[in-house]
């Protein structure tokens, strides 16, 4: 466990150090994957299916706010659908506008959820999303998940209707509209999925906020179970053709992802829980304090003592001497303590001494250096 905690600290430090590069890179990567997936799934407009255009747009997304990823993805999908059929594009545009006007204005911060949900649906691992959102966000994010699922099924309907739309004549405008609208509104699988995800987010959110031991783990398991049960009931009621094996596998994957999130966000040691009780003039307080599992990073002290390359000294001490002292201080997880925001990381110290007479330095031991610096 200590090794894992050290690894977590290293990742955290790496993130802090490279945040200014890492965040734009991750945004670029997300936009790139989203646009490539759109091109791969729809791909009706061959001009857009060009890696140069995709790269340029993804690069733009890397330094623009997150909402622009949604904007460009919506634009790409609309252009592709327009190349297939103007009527389908009009219906899609209307749906996007309704979503934007009614739902998305209440949770504009969750733009990543709206992009990730359809993306993970395409990758056949959508069950990670409600679990992650329940653990990291609030119930308001249900709206974003619902929008994401809706977008996935909208595009899925267009893809599945494409052969029929292509077979229709130019003058069958109303029939094309009807085909797309019926395909979306009559999609029971979509409604079941939205209901399952919404209830799962609520269950996970409510349980993980409870003052019980292992609340996050219980929340995850309860969330996954709820999700499976609702999906199976939906399958029985509406015959949504849900594959039980894929649901179970996806749920196991979601649990694994949930444990990973828990490790980074809520790693606590329940064995050292403290329950205290005190009072003031107005209240009695029953406080439960659960210490976070932390570990100090290995502290390295490197001392290099190089002799000056002067000829006279080289004669006295021809080879430059280098002393490297390294010691690691590690606090085991059992001795961790409750911390505030300050953390207890003590970075390694590197000391290089140049221009000193090596002969003089020989008498000094490492204790003296600690005092000096």
Partner 1 sequence: MLNEERIILMTQLAAYEVNEGKRNVKIGNYFRSDYIAIQVLKSIVSASIAFAIVFALYVLYDFENFMQDLYKIDLIAFARDVLIRYGISVVAYGVITYIICTYRYSRVRRSLKRYYHNLKKLSSMYRE
- Contacting residues toward partner 1, per CB under 8 A: 91, 94, 97-98, 101-102, 105-106, 174, 177-178, 181, 341-342
The CA angle 15-19-22, to the nearest 5 degrees, is 90
Minimal distance, residue 343 CB to partner 1, in Å:
11
Dihedral, CA atoms, 189, 231, 265, 268, nearest 10 degrees?
A: 180
Report yes or no: 81 and 158 within 8 Å, Cβ to Cβ: yes
Residue number, 31 or 180, with CB nearest to partner 1: 180
Nearest by Cα to 355 from 301, 303, 302, 305: 305
For residue 5, what are the contacts with CB-CB under 8 A and spacing of at least 6?
267, 293, 294, 295, 333
Minimal distance, residue 208 CB to partner 1, in Å:
20
Locate tokens 């709820």: which residue? 226
Residue number, 57 or 154, with CB nearest to partner 1: 154
3-state SS assignment for residue 305: strand
Query: Six-digit token pair at 239?
Result: 């015959």
Report yes or no: 92 and 78 within 8 Å, Cβ to Cβ: yes
Minimal distance, residue 294 CB to partner 1, in Å:
18
Residue number, 93 or 361, with CB nearest to partner 1: 93
Nearest by Cα to 200 from 136, 249, 140, 129: 129
Residue number, 109 or 316, with CB nearest to partner 1: 109
Residue number, 102 or 260, with CB nearest to partner 1: 102
Residue number, 102 or 225, with CB nearest to partner 1: 102
Dihedral, CA atoms, 358, 359, 360, 365, nearest 10 degrees?
A: 80
Minimal distance, residue 341 CB to partner 1, in Å:
7
Minimal distance, residue 335 CB to partner 1, in Å:
24
Minimal distance, residue 158 CB to partner 1, in Å:
15
Minimal distance, residue 313 CB to partner 1, in Å:
40
- Greatest Cα pair distance in the chain: 99
Minimal distance, residue 290 CB to partner 1, in Å:
22
3-state SS assignment for residue 353: strand
Consecutive H or E run containing 335: none
Residue number, 178 or 310, with CB nearest to partner 1: 178
Residue number, 140 or 236, with CB nearest to partner 1: 140
> CA 258: distance to chain centroid?
11
The C-alpha atoms of residue 35 and residue 201 are separated, in whole angstroms, by: 27
């Amino acid at each position: 466990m200590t090794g894992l905690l050290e690894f977590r600290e290293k990742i955290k430090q790496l993130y802090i150090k490279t945040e200014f590069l890492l965040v734009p890179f991750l945004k670029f990567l997300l936009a790139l994957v989203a646009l490539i997936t759109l091109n791969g799934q729809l791909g009706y407009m061959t001009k857009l299916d060009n890696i140069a255009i995709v790269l340029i747009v993804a690069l733009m997304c890397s330094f623009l706010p997150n909402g622009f990823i949604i904007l460009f993805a919506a634009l790409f999908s609309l252009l592709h659908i327009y190349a297939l059929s103007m009527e389908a594009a009009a219906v899609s545009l209307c749906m996007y506008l309704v979503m934007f006007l009614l739902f998305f204005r209440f949770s504009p911060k969750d733009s990543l959820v709206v992009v990730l949900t359809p993306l993970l649906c395409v990758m056949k691992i959508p069950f990670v999303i409600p679990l992650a959102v329940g653990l990291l966000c609030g119930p308001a994010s249900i709206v974003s998940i619902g929008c994401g699922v809706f977008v996935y099924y909208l595009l899925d309907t267009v893809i599945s209707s494409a052969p029929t739309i292509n077979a229709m004549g130019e003058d069958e405008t109303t029939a094309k509209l009807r085909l797309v609208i019926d395909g979306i509104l009559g999609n029971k699988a979509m409604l079941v999925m939205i209901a399952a995800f919404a209830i799962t987010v609520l269950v996970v959110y409510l349980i993980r906020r409870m003052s019980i031991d292992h609340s996050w783990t219980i929340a995850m398991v309860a969330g996954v179970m709820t999700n499976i049960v609702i999906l199976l009931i939906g399958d029985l009621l509406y015959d949504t053709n849900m594959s039980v094996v894929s649901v179970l596998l996806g749920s196991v994957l979601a649990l694994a992802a949930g444990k990973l999130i828990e490790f980074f966000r809520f790693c606590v040691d329940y064995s050292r829980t403290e329950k205290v009780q005190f009072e003031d003039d107005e209240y009695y307080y029953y406080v439960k304090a659960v210490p976070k599992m932390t570990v100090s990073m290995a502290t390295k002290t490197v001392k290099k003592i190089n002799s000056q390359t002067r000829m006279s000294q080289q004669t006295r001490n021809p080879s430059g001497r280098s002393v490297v002292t390294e010691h690691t201080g590690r606090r085991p997880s059992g001795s961790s303590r409750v911390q505030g925001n300050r953390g207890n990381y003590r970075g390694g110290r590197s000391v290089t001494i140049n221009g000193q007479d090596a002969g003089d330095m020989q008498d000094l031991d490492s204790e003296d250096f600690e005092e000096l610096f």
